[in-house]
Structure 1
Amino acid sequence: MKASELRSKDATELGKELESLLRAQFNLRMQRATQQLSNTSQIGKVRRDIARVRTIMTETAGK
């Protein structure tokens, strides 16, 4: 997800997006632990998306 897409969302939508990304991260970690995850690069992508969302939330909170 691009930062420009995230900037167009309001705080509640960003919160929901963050929650879904955290759930996805948890599921990927469980899949990796049980040796069911074939594409491990997904974990890094989700982590970067979480960081993007949190950054945008911080930026909008300061305004």
Structure 2
Amino acid sequence: MDRFKISKKAKPAMLTIRIDLSIMEFYEELARKTDRSRNEVIALALEYAKDQLLIEEK
């Protein structure tokens, strides 16, 4: 499995979502450990997920 890499910054856009508290706590801890904002870490995770997404045909 590919590793989650924290590297570049992108052009910002605003998005509001509702997530489970445990997911938010996970990204808060990851942000603290990597000395990045929670927002930046979540944006990087979404970018990674976008590149790994496979949509199966019905």
Calculate the TM-score normalised by the size of structure 2. 0.39
* Structure whose residues are more often helix by fraction: 1
Calculate the TM-score normalised by the size of structure 1. 0.37
